[in-house]
Amino acid sequence: MRGKLLFVVPVYSMPKDIFNDKWNKFFKDKGWDKEQLRHIYFLPMQWKYNQIIAFIEIYKNVNDIDFVIFKSNHKRYRYTTNKHQFSYYLTNGNHFYIRKNDTNEDIKNEICKMLKSIKKQLKEKNLYLDLEAFNNQIKYMDIKNI
């Protein structure tokens, strides 16, 4: 058992603005009126579901925080809704121990540092970790006492 699941952080192949720019270029190259065809080819929230290339699960065990990464074998999805498989991405050192004198803020800061480190490990050019839900939740959590 991995412990208690605290967060799941999606990792996208690119930020939303770059994704939208690519779609705009796609429509322009085809010579299509973007507004007429947008409802057919460019569904709302499409970026959220087509561009996930990995996700990070963050668990709290008794004395440590563990980061588990699942990564797709595709670097980016090309205008498609095909399902892709995710595999466990084996890495070393993606956890840290909680010391007795660590405060809740110390633990939160260390989690943020680890997420930055994991982003570097994944080695993608425009990689985007969607931390919106994470940031909205972590400030209210008492991770030390979970």
Instruction: Specify the pLDDT at position 50.
Output: 62
Q: How much of the chain, in percent, has pLDDT values that exceed 90?
A: 34
The answer to whether the beta carbons of residues 128 and 1 sit under 8 Å apart is no
pLDDT of residue 5: 94
3-class SS of residue 71: strand
For 66-88, the pLDDT digits (tens) are 999 988 876 555 545 455 667 77
> What does the buried/exposed string (b/e) look like for 71-95 if buried means 16 or more CB atoms within 10 Å of the residue's CB?
bbeeeebeeeeeeeebeebeeeebe
Give the angle 107-111-114 at the CA atoms, nearest 5°.
Answer: 135
